[in-house]
Amino acid sequence: MTAVVHGPARHAAPPGPSAPSTAPAVVDRRVRTAAEAALCAALVLVTFWWATGGGLSDLGGWATGLTSLGRLTGLLASVLLLVQVLLMARIPVLERAFGQDRLAVIHRLVGFTSFTGMLAHIGLITWGYAAGDLAATPGELWGLTVSYPGMLLAAAGTACLVLVVVTSVKAARAALRYESWHLLHLYAYLGVGLALPHQLWTGQEFLASTARTVFWWTLWAVTAAAVLVHRVALPLRRTLRHRLVVTSVVDEGDGCSSVYLAGRHLDDLPVRAGQFLTWRFLSGTGWSRAHPYSLSAAPDGRSLRITVKNLGDGSGRVAGLRPGTRALVEGPYGRLTDRVRTAPKVALVGAGIGITPMRALAEELTGDVVVLHRFTGSAVFAREFAVLAAERGFGLVPLPGPRRAHDSWLGSGVGAVDDLAALRARVPDVAERETYVCGPESWTRLVVGTLRAAGVPADRIHTETFGW
């Protein structure tokens, strides 16, 4: 392909095309299936134990039925609480199979479901212990809290989880700074850690048999180990081994800054073009709050580059980083890599600062590639894309101007044609392409809808959104 300023991508003999493989896709699909089967098996198993332990027969009485349902909802909520922690423990095999965006959606769904189940457990079992007398339930709750082993801890854990859930509601998230939300969200670990131990100590469903006790302690141990290994030990090891430091900061225009970093043994860092890492820069206040930034250049084993748009708070401090500033990192994360590619042709679609992983991919991918860049004002990396397009022969399709409507992902510069027609006019063979999309969540949904309408199979659309 050759670079174009406007109009459809023009095809040329691609330089050294990659040989896409379906093997990673098959592995990822099997991992997803196994994970879903394991969750279903765990939920069925604890329900079976509840039923065979008198849960069904207890439903015959009013008070005993309330207590029995309280035990069941507590069991299911306990499994889901631990699962939601596992989902965000950054386990590499799950990261590769699901991707961060999909894991975050599942995590949110499981989180709200487990929280609802936990509240049902508290209400039902307390009501049952109060002999089915609703008026006596508050007093019974107080008595249980202060007299049963572990219940004070459970109350504190529940309060932490309430805080996390309330601040995770979309309206509350919009009113909070990212840094504040991120700090509050860490209380989920504390909440789970405090809310569940009372069941291990006193819950009859946990202690009724050796098999049940082994099951619950194993699930707890696996969850705790996953967090300690992948959220603490591995990031600490990589930070100490690679010793990343800022070498320079370059103003890219439009409020964006590129940070260049050097370190040791970077050829051993398992990062690929299109991925992101979570960064903490030791530059003063705010260093403890992590921010996810994508690589904006393909890693070369000697240095890394990220490009950050000033959106306030942590991102606003990036432009002022001084050479020599140390960086703490977690990751890499993300599925926007050549690994998931199954088709010889590729389309990269990015909006705003979402173009950064596409810039890195454009440098690494070979074969028939076209880049669609949606931007307002000046285009970040315009010169770099032009040079890469000329050198590597890929198509470059700028999509300039503000979004022309709330239900369109295209800029005003494309004219009055609808999104599907505009896409097909610029990339006629889009249905044959592996597509990578990165941008704001609402914008990305519109792009995916247009791609699906154009005939792109769902398993060939890979997305990553920014915002929170």
Q: Which domains does the chain have, with CATH numbers?
A: 23-232 (no CATH), 243-333 (2.40.30.10), 341-466 (3.40.50.80)
- Tens-digit pLDDT profile for residues 306-318: 999 887 767 778 8
Checking if the pLDDT of 213 tops 60, the result is yes
**Could you tell me the end-to-end alpha-carbon distance of the chain, in angstroms, rounded to an integer?**
36
**What phi and psi, each to the nearest 5 degrees, are found at residue 442?**
-65, -40
pLDDT of residue 405: 77
Cα 54 to Cα 139, 209, 212, 261: the distances in Å are 27, 14, 15, 61
Going by pLDDT thresholds of 50, 70 and 90, the confidence category of residue 187 is: low
Q: What is the pLDDT of residue 14?
A: 40
- Across the range 105-123, mean pLDDT stands at 89
Give, in degrees to the nearest 5, the angle at Cα 116 between 38 and 184. Answer: 95
pLDDT, mean of residues 81-94: 90
pLDDT at 180: 62
Contacts of 289 by beta carbon, 8 Å cutoff, 6+ apart: 178, 179, 182, 183, 280, 314
Residue type, 114: S
The dihedral through the CA atoms of 18, 22, 23, 28 has a sign that is positive
- Short-list 246, 348, 377, 259, CA closest to 307: 259
For residue 184, the model assigns a pLDDT of: 64
In the predicted structure, residue 201 carries a pLDDT above the cut 70: no
Q: Which residues contact 300 (CB under 8 A, 6 or more apart)?
A: none
Taking Cα atoms as reference points, which of 316, 268, 267, 273 lies closest to residue 291?
316
Region 171-198 average pLDDT = 64
Assign 463 to helix, strand or coil: strand
Over range 439-462, report the average pLDDT: 93
Q: Give Cα 390 distance to the centre of its chain.
A: 34
Closest CA to 339 of 91, 28, 33: 28
pLDDT at position 7 is 37
Residue 153 token pair = 């801890």
